[in-house]
Structure 1
Amino acid sequence: MFKKILIANRGEIACRVIKTAKKLGIATVAVYSDADRDALHVRMADEAVHIGPAPSSQSYIVIEKIIEAIRKTGADAVHPGYGFLSENAAFAEALEKEGVAFIGPPVGAIQAMGDKITSKKLAAEAGVSTVPGHMGLIADAEEAVTISASIGYPVMIKASAGGGGKGMRIAWNDQEAREGFQSSKNEAKSSFGDDRIFIEKFVTEPRHIEIQVLGDKHGTVLYLGERECSIQRRNQKVIEEAPSPFLDPATRKAMGEQAVALAKAVGYHSAGTVEFIVDGKANKFYFLEMNTRLQVEHPVTELITGIDLVEQMIRVASGEKLSFGQDDVKLNGWAIESRLYAEDPFRNFLPSIGRLTRYRPPGEGKTSDGTIVRNDTGVFEGGEISMYYDPMIAKLCTWAPDRLTAIDAMSAALDDFEVEGIGHNLPFLSAVMQDERFRAGRLTTAFIAEEFPEGFLGVEPGEGDLRKLAAIATTVNRTLQARAVQISGTIGNHRRIIGQHWVVKLADQEFPVTLETSADGTAVVFADGGRITVAGGWLPGQTHAHFTIDGAPLGIKVGRAGTGIRLRWRGMDVVAHVREPRVAALARLMPVKLPPDTSKMLLCPMPGVITSVAVSGGDQVEAGQALATVEAMKMENILRAEKRGVVKRVAVAAGQSLAVDELIMEFE
Structure 2
Amino acid sequence: MFKKILIANRGEIACRVIKTARRMGIATVAVYSDADARAPFVQMADEAVHIGPAPANESYLIPEKIIDACKQTGAEAVHPGYGFLSERASFVEALAKEGIEFIGPPTNAIAAMGDKIESKKLAKEAGVNVVPGFVGEIEDTDHAVRISDEIGYPVMMKASAGGGGKGMRLAYNEKDVREGFEATKREGLNSFGDDRVFIEKFILDPRHIEIQVLGDKHGNVLYFNERECSIQRRHQKVVEEAPSPFVTPEMRRKMGEQAVALSQAVGYHSAGTVELIVSGADPTGESFYFLEMNTRLQVEHPVTEAITGVDLVELMIRVAAGEKLEMTQDDVKIDGWSIETRIYAEDPYRGFLPSTGRLVRYQTPVDAWDGDLRGVDGVRVDSGVQEGGEVSIFYDPMIAKLITWGETRDEAADLQVKALDKVVLEGLGHNVDFLSALMQHPRFRSGNMTTGFIAEEYPEGFEGAAASDELKRAVAAWIAGAECTERARAGRISERLNGTPSPGSNWTVKLDGETHAVELGDGGATVDGEWIAGTWDWQPGMRLSTVTADGEEYGIQLQRDGAWWNLTTRGRKYRGMALPARHADHASHMIEKVPPDTSKLLLCPMPGLLVKLHVGEGDDVEAGQPLATVEAMKMENILRAEKTGTVATINADEGETLVVDAVILELE
TM-score, normalization by structure 2: 0.97
Taking the TM superposition and a 5 Å limit, the aligned residue runs for 1:399-414 are: 399-414=405-420
Distance in 1 between residues matched to 2:467 and 2:495, nearest whole Å: 38
For 2:388 and 2:552, locate their aligned partners in 1 and report how far apart those are by CA, in whole Å. Answer: 33
SS in 1 for 2:492: helix
Look up the match of 1:13. Answer: 13
* 2:37 alignment counterpart: 37
**Aligned amino acid, residue 288 of structure 1:** L
Q: Secondary structure at the match of 2:257?
A: helix
CA contact (8 A) 1:208 1:275 kept: yes
Aligned residues: CA RMSD? 1.7
Report the counterpart of residue 212 of structure 2 in structure 1: 212
Q: 1:41 to 1:645 in 2, by over 3 A?
A: same
Please give the alpha-carbon distance, in whole angstroms, between the structure 1 residues aligned to 2:154 and 2:51: 42
Give the 3-state SS of the residue equivalent to 1:536 in structure 2.
Answer: coil
Q: Any conservation in 1 of the 2:421–2:571 contact (CA below 8 Å)?
A: no
Q: Deviations over 1:542-591 (max 9, x none)?
A: 11010121222110111111112210012211122111112211002324
Measure how far apart 1:489 and its partner are: 6.7
Q: Which moved more, 1:49-58 or 1:210-219?
A: 49-58
Write the letter of the residue equivalent to 1:607. Answer: P
Task: For 1:478 and 1:461, locate their aligned partners in 2 and report how far apart those are by CA, in whole Å.
Answer: 24
- Alignment pair present for 1:504 and 2:509: yes
Match of 2:247 in 1: 247
Q: Which of 473, 478, 487 is the equivalent residue of 2:493?
A: 487
1:624 matched to 2:624? The reply is: yes
> Helix, strand or coil: the match of 1:631?
strand
In 1, Cα distance between the equivalents of 2:19 and 2:376?
24
Relative distance call for 1:78 and 1:561 in structure 2 (3 A) is same
* 1:486 Cα deviation from its structure 2 partner: 1.9
Please list every run of at least 4 consecutive aligned residues from structure 1 whose deviation after the TM superposition is greater than 6 angstroms: 365-370
Provide the residue aligned with 1:77 in structure 2: 77
Alpha-carbon distance, 1:495 to partner: 3.7
1:166-565 aligned at under 5 Å gives the runs 166-282=166-282, 283=285, 284-364=287-367, 371-459=377-465, 461-487=467-493, 491-492=497-498, 494-517=499-522, 521=523, 523-528=524-529, 530-565=530-565
Report the equivalent of 2:124.
124
Query: Structure 1, residues 121-165: CA drift from partner, whole Å, max 9, x if none?
Result: 111122211111110122222222221222112111111111101
Letter in 2 for 1:289: E
SS of match in other structure, 2:323:
coil
Tell whether the 8 Å contact from 1:353 to 1:422 is kept in structure 2 after alignment.
Answer: yes
Letter in 1 for 2:658: L
CA distance in structure 2 between the aligned counterparts of 1:527 and 1:43, rounded to whole angstroms: 53
Contact 1:367/1:373 (<8 A) preserved? no
Contact 2:61–2:85, Cα closer than 8 Å, also in 1: yes
Helix, strand or coil at the partner of 1:331: coil
**In the alignment, which residue of structure 1 is the partner of 2:56?**
56
Q: Provide the rounded CA distance (Å) in 2 between the counterparts of 1:114 and 1:10.
A: 22
Report the Cα distance in structure 1 between the residues aligned to 2:486 and 2:431, rounded to whole angstroms: 30
Q: Which amino acid aligns with 1:110?
A: I
Amino acid at match of 1:609: L
CA displacement at 1:626 relative to structure 2: 1.4
How far apart, CA to CA, are the structure 2 residues paired with 1:121 and 1:396? 37
Q: Distance in 1 between matches of 2:578 and 2:375?
A: 35
Tell me how far apart the structure 2 counterparts of residues 285 and 36 of structure 1 sit (CA, whole Å).
41
Amino acid corresponding to residue 526 of structure 1 in structure 2: V
The alpha-carbon deviation at position 536 of structure 1 amounts to 3.0
1:490/1:57 CA distance change after superposition, 3 Å? closer
Structure 1 residue aligned with 2:139: 139
- Deviation, 1:189, is 1.4
Equivalent residue of 1:565, what SS? strand
Instruction: Output the CA distance in 2 between the equivalents of 1:453 and 1:254.
Output: 35
How far the C-alpha of 1:592 sits from its partner, in A, is: 3.4
**AA aligned opposite 1:480:** E
- In 2, Cα distance between equivalents of 1:291 and 1:134: 20
Paired residues of 1:490 and 1:496 also in contact (CA < 8 A):
no
Q: Residue 411 of structure 1: CA displacement?
A: 0.3
Cα distance in 2 between the residues matched to 1:565 and 1:642: 32
State the alpha-carbon separation in 2 of the partners of residues 19 and 32 from structure 1: 17
Q: Count the aligned residue pairs.
A: 662
Query: Which residue does 2:104 correspond to in 1?
Result: 104
Alignment of 1:619-658 (within 5 A): 619-658=619-658
Amino acid at match of 2:526: V
Superposed CA deviations along residues 78-101 of structure 1, whole A, max 9, x for unmatched, are 001111111100011111111010
Correspondence list, 1:544-623, <5 A: 544-623=544-623
Q: Given that residues 311 and 373 in structure 2 are in contact (C-alpha distance below 8 angstroms), is that contact kept between their aligned partners in structure 1?
A: no
How big is the shift at 1:368? 14
User: What is the one-letter code of the residue matched to 2:458?
Assistant: F
SS of residue matched to 1:639: strand
What is the rounded CA distance, in whole Å, between the counterparts of 2:471 and 2:532 in structure 1? 11
Contact 1:358 1:381 in 2 (8 A): yes
Assess, with a 3 A threshold, how the Cα gap between structure 1 residues 369 and 635 changes in structure 2: closer, same or farther.
closer
Give me the whole-angstrom Cα distance separating, in 2, the residues matched to 1:134 and 1:296. 29
- Deviation, structure 1 residue 370: 8.8
Pick closer, same or farther for the CA change 1:516–1:489 going to 2, 3 Å: farther
Deviations 1:469-492 (A, max 9, x none): 011112222321221222157844
Q: Secondary structure at the match of 2:327?
A: coil
| Conserved 8 A contact 2:365-2:422 | yes
Decide whether the 8 Å contact of 2:128 with 2:258 is kept in 1. Answer: yes
- Quick one: distance in 1 between partners of 2:124 and 2:574? 54
Which ranges of structure 2 fall in alignment gaps of 5 or more residues?
A: none
Distance 1:139 1:578 in 2: 65
Per-residue CA distance 1:210-264 (angstroms, 9 max, x = gap) = 0000111111110111000000000000000000000111111111111111111
Contact residue 489 and residue 495 of structure 1 kept, 8 A: no
SS in 1 for 2:583: helix
2:160 aligned with 1:160: yes
Deviates more, 1:140-149 or 1:437-446: 140-149
Quickly say closer, same or farther: Cα 1:369–1:616, change in 2 above 3 A. Answer: closer
CA gap of 1:488–1:580, structure 2 versus 1, over 3 A, is farther
CA–CA distance in 2 between the matches of 1:12 and 1:575?
Answer: 34
Once the two structures are superposed, residues 265-322 of structure 1 have per-residue CA deviations (whole angstroms, 9 ceiling, x without a partner) of 1111100000000011212111111000000000000001010000000000000011
Identify if the C-alpha distance between structure 1 residues 491 and 32 changes in structure 2 by more than 3 Å, giving closer, same or farther. closer
Cα distance, 1:621 vs structure 2? 1.4
Could you tell me which amino acid in structure 1 is paired with residue 508 of structure 2? V
Q: Which range is displaced more, 334-343 or 62-71?
A: 62-71
> What are the Cα deviations for residues 322-350 of structure 1, in whole angstroms up to 9, with x where unaligned?
12111111100000100001111122111
SS at match of 1:390: coil
CA distance in 1, matches of 2:201, 2:493: 69
**Distance in 1 of aligned mates of 2:190 and 2:29:** 26
SS at match of 2:612: strand
User: Higher mean Cα deviation, 306-315 or 532-541?
Assistant: 532-541
Q: TM-score, normalised by structure 1?
A: 0.97
